[in-house]
Chain A
Amino acid sequence: MTEPTQSSAAEMLGEMRALGRQAARTGHGYWLPLLIFGVLIAASLPLYLVSTAATYGYARIGGPVLPFLGTAIMPRYSGGDWIGLYWFVAMQAGIVATWLWYRWRGSRIGLRMPTRGFLVTGLAVVELALLVSLVAPRVGLPLFGDLFIRDTFPLVLIVVPLAVLAWIERSPALAVITVGYAGLALLASLYNVENILFRLGWNPFTSGQGSALVGLPNVALPALLLLLAGAASYAAGYRRRRRQAR
């Protein structure tokens, strides 16, 4: 073996780090999962409007312990909505769609990301939530009620698949988006976001549908964040590909 010089070692180290970064950038495909989960949250809005209107705009204190499965499966906690069942199906659909997207994209670009862990972790989180929601009320397991009373806990659960994706993709940008989203999802579960908007001048009660719209910001803002982040990530990737093609 020829003895490497120190400068050639530094050069090779730099070259390999650049190759690693290039491969990581090529593999980045998180813009679509962001849009998928953003759309799934946005699509749940009508359910939250009905739910909030039925309870006059106030969270159902003492309602579902874990509304992940909501009322369709646990009628004794019924508030007359389908939020739980929606999220049970939507979360799994979103996770499987994301996995299929990475499979398809990997074959197309010639670089497959290790997404099996994402699929397993994502589905395990959903099934665990199902198990806890069924077992907790029966055994009197104390859960942090404030996190669950607004039926928006599934939004917090979405943090898990996003965090796993950020790890798989080694993407600081997705990590930042996930942290921002986690903050918003927690806020939406612990606080009536409408209060903040009210102070900024938004008064849903002047629209005539007040009580129905009160719950809207709690769900709309996290959805908006993911949709905007997904669109911006796609645009950034598109610009980079255009620059490389020139």
Chain B
Amino acid sequence: MAGNDHPTVGLDETVHQRHRLGILTITSRASQADFGYLRETLGLTPGNLSTHLTVLEEAGLVQVQKGYEGRRPRTWVSITRQGRAALAAEMAALAKLASQLNGDHGSADDGET
């Protein structure tokens, strides 16, 4: 029965990776995030960030736009509608999983009294 599914069933392998989830979280708060901002905020090397972006872009969760501002190359990342939906689903699954922890603690406390 769907209602009895374990919360981990709702976790998406592409999204459920700390840094990729971080990229989606940040880009969901803005229209576009710069490659440099993401790298600094998430504490990643350029190579690592590029790899994660490629995974997300291939899954259709983000769009990567490369260009120049003056003579300076800049890469802007934006979340897609599909990316927003995946982020919302992942956060809901995490919240459900985390709330189970509190529920289990509550049951354990009940048992002790």
Q: A1-43 vs B: 1/0 string, CB under 8 Å?
A: 1011011011011011001101110110000000000000000
Q: When A24-B29, A111-B33, A170-B29 are in contact, do A19 and B41 touch as well, CB less than 8 Å?
A: yes
Q: Which residue of B lies closest to A115 (CB)?
A: B31
Q: Which of B70-113 contact A (CB under 8 A)?
A: 76, 91, 94-95, 97-98, 100-101, 104
State how many residues of chain B have any CB contact under 8 Å with chain A.
30
Name the B residues within 8 Å of A110 (CB-CB): 33-34, 36-37
Smallest CB gap from B76: residue in A: A112
- Give the CA-CA distance A40 to B51 in the complex, in Å: 48
B25 touches A16 (CB 8 A): yes
CB pair A16–B76 under 8 Å, yes or no, is no
Decide: A112 near B30, CB < 8 A? Known: A12-B21, A16-B21, A19-B25: yes
Q: Are A12 and B25 also in contact (CB < 8 A) when A1-B11, A3-B8, A107-B69 are? A: no
Specify which chain B residues have a CB less than 8 angstroms from the CB of A19 in the assembled complex.
22, 25-26, 41
Residues from chain B with a CB closer than 8 A to the CB of A6 are 97-98, 100-101, 104
Task: Evaluate contact between A10 and B98: CB separation under 8 angstroms.
Answer: yes
Q: B100: which A residues are within 8 A, CB to CB?
A: 6
Q: B8 contacts which chain A residues (CB < 8 A)?
A: 3-4
In the complex formed, the residue of B with least CB distance to A16 is B25
Q: Using a Cβ–Cβ cut-off of 8 Å, how many residues does chain A contribute to the interface with B?
A: 29
Q: If the complex has contacts A4-B97, A10-B98, A19-B41, are A111 and B34 also in contact, measured as CB distance less than 8 A?
A: yes
Instruction: Name the residue on B nearest A109 (C-beta).
Output: B37
Closest chain B residue to A6, Cβ basis: B101
Q: Which of A13, A16, A27 contacts B30 (CB 8 A)?
A: A27
Q: Which residue of B lies closest to A7 (CB)?
A: B101
| Alpha-carbon separation in the docked complex, A36 to B97 (Å) | 46
**Chain A, range 89-148, C-beta contacts under 8 Å to B:** 106-107, 109-116
